[in-house]
Homo-oligomer: A and B are copies of this chain.
Amino acid sequence: MSQPFADWMGSVQARTETALSRFLPPAESIPGRLHQAMRYSTLGGGKRVRPLLAFAAGELTGAAPEALDAAACAVECIHVYSLVHDDMPCMDDDVLRRGRPTCHVEHDEPTALLVGDSLQSLAFDILCRNKEIDHGRQLEMVRVLARASGSCGMAGGQAIDLASVGKPLTQPELELMHALKTGALIRAAVLLGALCGPAMAESERDLLDRFAKRAGLLFQVVDDILDCTASTATLGKTAGKDAAADKPTYVSLLGLEGAQRFASELEAEALQCLAPFGIRSQRLTELAAFIAHRKF
Contact = CB atoms under 8 A, between A and B. Distances in A.
B118 A147 contact: no
A135 interface: yes
Nearest to A143: B128
A83 to B, nearest CB: 12
Q: How many copies does the complex hold?
A: 2
A176 B146 contact: no
6 contacts: A31-B156, A33-B159, A90-B109, A121-B155, A125-B150, A134-B135
Contact of A151 (B38, B85, B142, B160): B38
Contacts of A120: 117, 120-121
B113 A151 contact: no
Interface residues of A, number: 55
A31 B153 CA distance: 10
Contacts of A89: 90
B143 A125 contact: yes
Contacts of A136: 135
A157 to B, nearest CB: 8
Interface string A160-189: 101100000000000010000000000000
Given A121-B151, A139-B138, A146-B121, A34 B114 contact: no
B135 A139 contact: yes
A111 interface: yes
Nearest to A152: B25
A128 B128 CA distance: 12
A169 to B, nearest CB: 13
Given A90-B113, A91-B113, A149 B121 contact: yes
A25 B151 contact: yes
A155 B124 contact: no
Interface in A178-208: none
A88 interface: yes
Contact of A160 (B30, B117, B125, B147): B30
Nearest to A128: B143
Contacts of A151: 25, 31, 34-35, 38, 114, 118, 121-122
A280 to B, nearest CB: 28
Contacts of A176: 30
Interface in A17-63: 25, 29-31, 33-35, 38
A216 interface: no
A89 B90 CA distance: 10
Contacts of A147: 121, 125
A140 B145 CA distance: 17
A90 B88 CA distance: 10
